[in-house]
């Protein structure tokens, strides 16, 4: 095997057996000599020769060169954009295989990495919907499209094209034009394609990310299982002479599909929209969603579970693990818009929710009132700042504490407070089994994990949620 002297790694590694999923579209591979590498565009069970292209912290990242054996779990991808768009990297891996791998990842994180003893492992809960399961998507708008490797060498092909789609990794100023996306249910594809055609017909300038010129910049669609749809269109400048006629035309042509139409002005460098002023142009200010027995009004900035149908199943497991009987005092940490807290409130004596994002707490209060819940109290602020002995003295010791932190896990200051509170039961919902394992190991001083279950919220991706029930020792 040759060696690349400049990068100090081999030019080729033969007979790599792909053993499992890794993050960001890579799989873990192992050579006959036991060397571990990360390989893209393969699935567990493949045996392949690979070409290393990057070394990071002594880990080699590789691309496949030649397949000696293809996995029995390989399936035909169903999306025309697969392999170019990076949104659904595991469409070529059977869903049964995905569930098997995700279950293993969660179990390994807790037991092998975190050294957590789990009393009972329940089988992973797969998603009934493996495509068209998302309720929210954001698209970029640009006047240049990303070219494939074959197109780059063709002088007759140009990248100058008005497109709505996703960024290719590393191509900040160009987009992959998306014709049909299999992620979002509802009229998402019809609206995106129709509005792109309408904008082109009306000569609305698409955004030039390199030169920072143009008008039409971003596009967000929210859909609900109740059949409602919200659009948010972002423009680079507040050019009402063009914006208003365009939005009028959008409503005239697609009004039957649109419940709520907002627009915003984004003149910033970045594409983050949640810090921008949202202007209601037509329709209702919110759209309606239900998760089981709970109703929600969702606005353009609402933080809401991205997979509505599977989110309901996740909350059912959370409620089951909480084991409420109608009298318990429940703390709900990192509550977001209070969705879990409100889901369990009917079986609780009181629910106290804490969330850092003030706008999310505003939504929680509105939705609690919508559901007629008078036993919920909400606090806006960082959990590590609000959850204090004084707070516990005011609201009483929790009988059940539910926590659903972001990917980084719970703040280090929160763990000692949980140990001091000593709630008889903790239900820990996580979107990152690695940080969950870390936190569970810290809680092991007083708690044992009696039950755990992985829940697949995002089919065709490597992401997986997990729910754990802890009890005082």
What structural domains and CATH numbers belong to the chain? 3-69 (2.40.50.140), 97-130+307-472 (3.40.50.150), 136-285 (2.40.50.1070)
Query: Does the pLDDT at position 417 exceed 70?
Result: yes
User: What mean pLDDT is predicted for residues 391-404?
Assistant: 97
Confidence class for position 25, pLDDT limits 50, 70, 90: confident
Confidence class for position 71, pLDDT limits 50, 70, 90: very high
Q: How far apart are CA 184 and CA 238, in angstroms?
A: 29
Identify the residue with better confidence: 65 or 3: 65
Query: Does the pLDDT at position 77 exceed 90?
Result: yes
What's the pLDDT score for residue 7?
A: 55
**Which residues of 131-236 form beta strands (DSSP E)?**
136-144, 160-167, 175-177, 216-223, 229-235
Residue of 62, 181, 264, 431 with catalytic role: 431
Q: How far apart are CA 119 and CA 469, in angstroms?
A: 10
Q: How far apart are CA 134 and CA 140, in angstroms?
A: 17
User: What mean pLDDT is predicted for residues 327-334?
Assistant: 98
Largest distance between two CA atoms of the chain:
73
Among left, alpha and beta (phi > 0; psi -120 to 50; other), residue 212 is: left
Query: Does the pLDDT at position 433 exceed 60?
Result: yes
Contact indicator for 357, 380 with CB cutoff of 8 Å: yes
CB 96: neighbour CB atoms within 10 A?
Answer: 11
| Cα Rg of the chain (Å, integer) | 24
Confidence class for position 34, pLDDT limits 50, 70, 90: confident
The residue among 75, 74, 56, 38 whose CA lies nearest residue 16 is 38
Identify the residue with better confidence: 169 or 222: 222
Q: How far apart are CA 392 and CA 369, in angstroms?
A: 24
User: What mean pLDDT is predicted for residues 256-272?
Assistant: 96
Contact indicator for 319, 344 with CB cutoff of 8 Å: yes
Q: How far apart are CA 11 and CA 303, in angstroms?
A: 46
User: What mean pLDDT is predicted for residues 385-403?
Assistant: 97
pLDDT single digits (tens) 174-208: 899 999 999 999 999 999 999 999 999 999 999 99
What's the pLDDT score for residue 6?
A: 54
What's the pLDDT score for residue 5?
A: 47
**Residue 205: DSSP 8-state:** P
Cα four-point dihedral sign 239, 298, 89, 188: negative
Q: Specify the DSSP element, H or E, that contains 36.
A: strand 36-40
Range list of H helices, 119-231:
149-152, 188-201
pLDDT single digits (tens) 351-371: 999 999 998 999 999 999 999
Query: Does the pLDDT at position 379 exceed 50?
Result: yes
pLDDT single digits (tens) 294-303: 999 999 999 8
Judge whether 431 counts as a catalytic residue: yes
Contact indicator for 203, 194 with CB cutoff of 8 Å: no
Coil, strand, or helix at residue 429?
strand
Task: Write the DSSP string, 49-71.
Answer: EEEEEEEETTEEEEEEEEEEE--
Confidence class for position 472, pLDDT limits 50, 70, 90: very high
Q: How far apart are CA 261 and CA 263, in angstroms?
A: 7
Question: Exposed, middle or buried, 332 (CB in 10 Å: 0-12/13-18/19+)?
Answer: buried
Tokens of 181: 């996306």
Percent of the chain having pLDDT more than 90?
A: 84
Query: Does the pLDDT at position 86 exceed 80?
Result: no
Q: How far apart are CA 398 and CA 330, in angstroms?
A: 5
What is the pLDDT of the chain when averaged over all its residues? Answer: 93
Q: What are phi and psi of 306, to 5 degrees?
A: -70, -30
Q: Specify the DSSP element, H or E, that contains 350.
A: strand 350-355
User: What mean pLDDT is predicted for residues 272-290?
Assistant: 95
**Going by C-beta distance under 8 Å and a sequence separation of 6 or more, which residues neighbour residue 205?**
143, 213, 214, 215, 216
Identify the residue with better confidence: 305 or 156: 305
Reported pTM: 0.91
User: What mean pLDDT is predicted for residues 14-35?
Assistant: 89
Q: How far apart are CA 320 and CA 154, in angstroms?
A: 59
Query: Does the pLDDT at position 2 exceed 70?
Result: no
pLDDT single digits (tens) 200-210: 999 999 999 88
Among left, alpha and beta (phi > 0; psi -120 to 50; other), residue 214 is: left
What's the pLDDT score for residue 72?
A: 95
Q: How far apart are CA 261 and CA 276, in angstroms?
A: 15
């Amino acid at each position: 095997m040759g060696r690349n002297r400049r990068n100090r790694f081999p030019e080729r590694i033969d007979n790599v057996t792909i053993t499992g999923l890794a993050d960001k579209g890579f799989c873990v591979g192992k050579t006959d000599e036991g060397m571990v590498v990360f390989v893209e565009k393969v699935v567990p069970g493949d045996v392949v020769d690979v070409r290393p292209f990057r070394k990071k912290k002594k880990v080699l990242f590789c691309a496949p060169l030649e397949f000696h054996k293809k996995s029995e779990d390989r399936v035909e991808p169903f999306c025309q954009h697969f392999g170019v768009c990076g949104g659904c990297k595991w469409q070529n891996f059977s869903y049964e295989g995905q569930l098997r791998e995700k279950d293993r990842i969660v179990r390994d994180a807790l037991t092998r990495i975190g050294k957590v003893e789990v009393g009972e492992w329940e089988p992973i809960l797969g998603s009934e919907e493996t495509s068209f399961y998302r309720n929210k998507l954001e698209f970029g708008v640009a006047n240049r499209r990303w070219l494939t490797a074959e197109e780059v060498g063709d002088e007759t092909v140009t990248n100058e094209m008005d497109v709505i789609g996703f960024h290719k990794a590393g191509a900040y100023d160009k987009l992959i034009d998306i014709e049909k996306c299999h992620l979002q249910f509802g009229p998402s594809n019809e609206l995106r394609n129709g509005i792109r055609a309408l904008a082109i017909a009306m000569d609305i300038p698409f955004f030039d990310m390199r030169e920072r010129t143009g008008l039409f910049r971003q596009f967000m669609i929210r859909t609900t299982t109740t059949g409602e749809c919200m659009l948010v269109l972002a423009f680079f400048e507040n050019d009402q002479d063009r914006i208003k006629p365009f939005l009028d035309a959008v409503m005239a042509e697609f009004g039957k599909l649109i419940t709520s139409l907002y627009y915003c002005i984004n003149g910033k460098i970045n594409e983050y929209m949640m810090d921008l002023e949202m202007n209601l142009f037509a329709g209702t200010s919110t759209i309606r969603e239900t998760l089981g027995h709970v109703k929600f009004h969702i606005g353009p900035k609402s933080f809401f579970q991205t997979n509505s149908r599977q989110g309901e199943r996740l909350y059912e497991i959370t409620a089951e693990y909480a084991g409420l009987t109608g009298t318990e005092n429940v703390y709900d940490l990192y509550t977001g818009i209070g969705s879990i807290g409100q889901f369990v409130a009917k079986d609780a004596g009181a629910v106290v929710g804490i969330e850092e994002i003030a706008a999310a707490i505003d939504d929680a209060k509105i939705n609690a009132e919508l559901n007629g819940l008078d036993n919920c109290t909400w606090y806006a602020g960082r959990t590590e700042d609000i959850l204090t002995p004084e707070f516990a003295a005011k609201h009483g010791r929790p009988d059940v504490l539910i926590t659903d932190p972001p990917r980084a896990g719970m703040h280090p200051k929160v763990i000692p407070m949980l140990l001091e509170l000593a709630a008889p039961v903790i239900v820990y919902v996580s979107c990152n089994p690695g940080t969950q394992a870390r936190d569970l190991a810290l809680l092991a001083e007083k708690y044992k994990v009696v039950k755990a279950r992985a829940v697949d919220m995002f089919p065709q991706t490597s992401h997986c949620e997990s729910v754990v029930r802890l009890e005082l020792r």
